[in-house]
Amino acid sequence: MDYKKDGKDILLRQSDFALDDTLDCGQAFRWEKIADNAYHGAFLNRQLTISCENGSDLFRLHDTSEQDFLEIWADYFDLSTDYGEIKRRFSSDDTLSKACEFAGGIRILKQDSWEALSSFIISQNNNIPRIKGIIGRLCQHYDGYPCAVDMKNETVDSLSYLRSGFRAKYLVDAISKVLDGSIDFEALRTIPLDDARNVLMTIKGVGPKVADCALLFGFYRLDAFPKDVWVKRVMSRWYPNGLPECTKGLEGIAQQYLFHYIRSI
């Protein structure tokens, strides 16, 4: 990793990383663009302002200790994964090659499991501005994103301030299943993908798409391939016989590039 301390900040040189591509792409809902090339957001109970200094590969993590950078943010931004190598691998496929060129700064954020699961429950049949609104009200209420234990006494009525509509009852079911031990977060990181999806789909309101988003973004299962309406268009247009071989094991990363590509055209 190429970084140095700069006063209270960390300066990071990082290729294959763009703030808009990664933080404003619908994989996480707590990052706000505060200026050109600058975002403010949070992971667990840590807040961060991150800016791009030169419009390409130089980033400033504001007011961040070296310890927090190494122990928290380097992992969250998945800095140990070589996305350049992944894009070279994908470029053997014409469509993927164009998709990687279109949004080459995408990285998969390694988010908190409960935040990803609950956020994508909220996301169903919803639009991104409203998803952010609901999650913003939740975080304002709890002074940060609550863990499942924090929410143990919530009911559909007590969550009415979120204005999350029919999704409130799904959140309540997710809270109870996580707290009663029937959803084992540690196991979901390692058991076969189909088993992991089936476990998550025991939660009311969690179907194949929400389960795959939770697994990809919250459990770092890069083989999970969420199929929303846009990705279904991708598949019928370019891959009627399935994804190309070069995506094997990294279907979730391919999904991110393809998702943004199809939405742009």
Please give the residue ranges that form the binding site for DNA (CB under 7 A): 25-27, 123-130, 133, 160, 163-166, 201, 203-211, 213, 226, 228-231, 255-256, 259
Residue 246 DSSP label: G
Nearer to DNA, 56 or 127 (CB): 127
Q: Residue 123: which residues within 8 A CB-CB, separation 6 or more? A: 29, 131, 210, 213
C-beta of 212: minimal distance to DNA in Å?
A: 8
- What does the alpha-carbon distance between residue 190 and residue 215 come to, in Å, rounded to a whole number? 11
- What does the alpha-carbon distance between residue 200 and residue 185 come to, in Å, rounded to a whole number? 10
Task: With CA atoms as reference, report the closest residue to 79 among 89, 69, 87.
Answer: 69
C-beta of 31: minimal distance to DNA in Å?
A: 13
C-beta of 101: minimal distance to DNA in Å?
A: 18
- What does the alpha-carbon distance between residue 84 and residue 80 come to, in Å, rounded to a whole number? 12
C-beta of 256: minimal distance to DNA in Å?
A: 6
C-beta of 55: minimal distance to DNA in Å?
A: 24
| Local structure of 190: helix, strand or coil | coil
Residue 191 in tokens: 């058991």
Nearer to DNA, 3 or 102 (CB): 102
Nearer to DNA, 136 or 244 (CB): 136
Q: Phi and psi for 47 in degrees, rounded to 5?
A: -100, 155
Nearer to DNA, 129 or 181 (CB): 129
C-beta of 164: minimal distance to DNA in Å?
A: 7
Residue 52, amino acid: C
Nearer to DNA, 60 or 87 (CB): 87
- How many whole angstroms from its chain centre is CA 232? 19
Strand order in the sheet with 2-6: 2-6, 9-13, 58-61, 46-52, 38-43, 32-35
C-beta of 183: minimal distance to DNA in Å?
A: 14
Q: Residue 164: which residues within 8 A CB-CB, separation 6 or more? A: 122, 134, 171
Nearer to DNA, 40 or 130 (CB): 130
Nearer to DNA, 80 or 125 (CB): 125
Residue 245 DSSP label: G
